[in-house]
């Protein structure tokens, strides 16, 4: 079963655009990782949100140890208002495949 994550990053206002650029580059690289089903950047007024879907917990675990994640952590250092918040979620598909699951 797929694993879904929602990771919220709280950039300091003066670094927001810089961090968006870093995250866009990260997204593009992560798409080629084994088991990546979805890795998308969204944004709210005070936060940047990564929505991730991995084929398995093992695929996510490999991603967590990847250079992409290590480099992202380095890029975020000193440029965020507080620590990122990560939610790990299990899918519960309902309704149609197109509308009821990620």
Task: Tell me if the domain spanning 3-91 has CATH number 3.40.50.261.
Answer: no
Q: Which value, to the nearest 10 degrees, does the dihedral of the CA atoms of residues 29, 32, 33, 34 take?
A: 170
d(CA 17, CA 23): 10
- Chain segment 46-89, per-residue pLDDT in tens: 999 999 999 999 999 999 999 999 999 999 999 999 999 999 99
Q: What pTM was computed for the model?
A: 0.91
Domain definitions of the chain by residue range: 3-91
- Chain segment 3-43, per-residue pLDDT in tens: 999 999 999 999 999 999 999 999 999 999 999 999 999 99
């Amino acid at each position: 079963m797929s694993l879904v994550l929602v990771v919220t990053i709280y950039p300091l206002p003066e670094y927001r655009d810089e961090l968006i650029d870093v995250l866009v580059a990260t997204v593009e690289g992560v798409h080629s990782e084994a088991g990546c089903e979805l890795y998308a950047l969204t944004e709210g007024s005070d936060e940047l949100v990564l929505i991730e879907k991995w084929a398995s917990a093992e695929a996510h675990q490999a991603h967590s140890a990847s250079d992409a994640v290590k480099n992202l952590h380095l890029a975020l250092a000193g440029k965020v208002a507080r620590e990122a918040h990560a939610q790990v979620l299990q899918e519960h598909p309902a309704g149609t495949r197109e509308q009821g699951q990620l």
